Amino acid sequence: MPPGKNGKVTQPKTVLVVDDEPDIRDSLRDALEDEGYRVAVARNGKEALETLPTLEEPVAIILDIIMPVMSGTEFYAAIQADPRLAKTPVVISTSDASRAPNGVLIMKKPVDLERLLDTVASLF
């Protein structure tokens, strides 16, 4: 486990990156792993729904909206309908913020990586 700011071991935190673009998934995974997060990736909302219950908590999600199979909007609605998943923090990463659900933190693509890392850190 990575040490915390006070030198004590902290609980590892997991981030689920959900994006249909392989380059974006890989870049975000690499950057988050460099920061000490455990990272899982999914290519669409359906894969994310299958992956999410298998992850160790605490978990945060970086979610694209426009994806095949199951969109980010459909995925978000599904986790909001599940009391076990509804409190999972989500950051929407999208080029079309008009499609994002109301009340969710949005980061417009292309994402400022430093800002995204700061935002993810604030979720835990």
User: What is the per-residue pLDDT for 3?
Assistant: 43
Which H or E run includes 106? strand 105-108
Is the model's pTM score more than 0.75? yes
The structure tokens 């999914």 sit at 42
Name the residue type at position 16: L
User: pLDDT 10s per residue in the chain (124 long)?
Assistant: 444 444 443 678 999 999 999 999 999 999 999 999 999 999 999 999 999 999 988 899 999 999 999 999 999 999 999 998 999 999 999 887 777 787 888 988 888 999 999 999 999 9
User: What is the per-residue pLDDT for 7?
Assistant: 44
Residue 77, both tokens: 């609605």
User: What is the per-residue pLDDT for 11?
Assistant: 76
CA–CA gap between residue 47 and residue 32 (Å, rounded): 20
